[in-house]
Amino acid sequence: MSKLRSNLVVIGIYIVFIVLLITTLYPMIWVVGTSLNPGNTLLVSKMFPDNPSLVHYVELLRNTDFMLWFGNTVKIAVANAFLSTILVAMTAYAFSRFRFKGRQQGLMTLLVLQMFPGFLSIMAIFVLLLQTKLLDTHLGLILIYVGGSISMGTWVMKGHFDTIPRSLEEAAFIDGASNKDAFFRIILPLSLPSITFVALNSFITPFMDFILPQIVLRSSEKMTLAQGLYSMVANETNSSFTVFAAGAVLVALPITLLYMYFQKYLIHGMTAGADKG
């Protein structure tokens, strides 16, 4: 009796799994299938096209601004990763290695600021950028990203710096090293995982984010990938779904691979920050 019940449970689980597998994979296979479908409308498109072709990819690269959006996004991502990492490293180093007046308060301020999602002040950011002539510029977007990455990144990186024993630097100081030497020769190489985490996080943000670009960037030649892909499907009457599918595959594939490859670093970075927070 109990054996039978157990078998039924296992069969039930497998049935659920197969249903879940179909619902999980269906959207992904649909996108890939549609992007390879030679036809233009969704109604005649098949998930497994009879004669797959890359025509939509060619169209995407030739007739849309996809490459432009891609270039914009990479530019913003690189600038953000570079600036954020430098700023966060400086800030975290100061908070981890020096004891100074206002240190506790500074750390608390960062913690509190981190709790408020930055885009809550979208209204203020919009008006401020409008009045400082930074609206519709990549610089404006980069500055906001960098400002937003400081609070979280600092806590993560400080947590990691704290785990590096001070005796290493003290020994170096005795040998005549300066603060600069200690930072670049000792701290930096030893905290590579958390630096990778901050850099990667700020690199990926512009690829994933939609709201801030939508606020800051207005003209089509300045758009990022997220905005560009949205504009392809926002309009119900246009028939660029197939081209959109090609774009979605091109964006999703590298990011998914990047994510899976760096998963270790990401998880490690998060836990390092959380443990010592």
Partner 1 sequence: MHVNLDDRRYRTKAALLSALCIGLGQLYNRQYWKGFFWMVIAQLFFWTYYPIAIKGIAGLITLGDVPTRIIKGKVVQGDHSIFLLINGLITLVIILVFLGMYILNIVDAKRNGAIRDEGGQVLGFLASLKKAKFRNFPYLLLLPATFFVLFVTVMPLVFNVLIAFTNYSAPDHIPDRSLVDWIGFASFYDLFTQEAWRSTFVGIAVWNIIWATVSTVTVFFGGLILALMVNHPRVRFKKFWRTAFILPWAVPQFISILVFRVLLNGSFGPVNDLIVKLGFSPVPWLSDPTMAKVSIILVNLWFSTPFLMALMSGVLTTMPRDLYEAAEVDGASWRQKFTRITLPLVLLATAPILIMQFAFNFNNFNLIYLLTDGNPNQPDYFYAGSTDILISWIFKMTLNQSQFNMASAVSIIMFILIAGFSLWNYKRMKSNQEEDWV
**138 is written with which tokens?**
């990549």
262 touches partner 1 by CB under 8 A: no
| Least Å from the CB of residue 98 to partner 1 | 4
Of residues 51-80, those binding partner 1 (CB under 8 A): none
Of 114, 92, 116, give the one whose Cα is nearest residue 103. Answer: 92
Part of the chain binding partner 1 (CB under 8 A), chosen from 62-70, 165-173, 187-195, 245-253: 245-253
Please choose, from the candidates 191, 255, 199, 214, the residue with its C-alpha nearest in 3D space to the C-alpha of residue 77. Answer: 199
- One DSSP character per residue, 105-137 reads HHHHHHHHHHHS-GGGGHHHHHHHHHHTT-TT-
Smaller CB distance to partner 1: residue 53 or 256? Answer: 256
Complex with partner 1: residue 63 or 256, whichever CB lies closer: 256
Piece of the chain touching partner 1 by CB under 8 A; list 64-72, 107-115, 158-166, 188-196 = 107-115
Residue with tokens 């039978």: 4
- Among 19, 54, 67, 127, the residue binding partner 1 under the rule CB under 8 A is 127
Contact window for partner 1 (CB under 8 A) among 14-22, 70-78, 163-171, 184-192: 14-22
| CB nearer partner 1, residue 9 or residue 192 | 9
Burial class (CB in 10 A: 0-12, 13-18, 19+), 77: buried
Please check whether residue 153 is in contact with residue 201, taking contact to mean a CB–CB distance below 8 angstroms: yes
Tokens of 183: 């930072």
Q: Which among 212, 106, 204, 205 is positioned nearest to 155, based on CA atoms?
A: 106
Contact in structure between 206 and 145 (CB atoms under 8 Å): yes
- Please, what is the minimum distance in Å from the beta carbon of residue 131 to partner 1? 6
30 vs 75 by CB, closer to partner 1: 30
Residues listed for the chain: 277
Tell me, by CB under 8 A, how many residues bind partner 1. Answer: 83
Contact with partner 1 (CB under 8 A) among 8, 41, 165, 184: 41
Give the binding range for partner 1 (CB under 8 A) out of 61-69, 114-122, 160-168, 195-203: 114-122
Residues of span 160-199 touching partner 1 by CB under 8 A:
179
CA pair distance 159, 269, nearest whole angstrom: 9
Pair of tokens at residue 13: 């689980």
Q: Is 139 in the site for partner 1 (CB under 8 A)?
A: no
The span from the CA of 99 to the CA of 263, in Å, is: 34
**Residue 246 touching partner 1 (CB under 8 A):** no
Among 77, 135, 141, 150, binds partner 1 (CB under 8 A): 150
Among 229, 243, 246, 272, binds partner 1 (CB under 8 A): 229
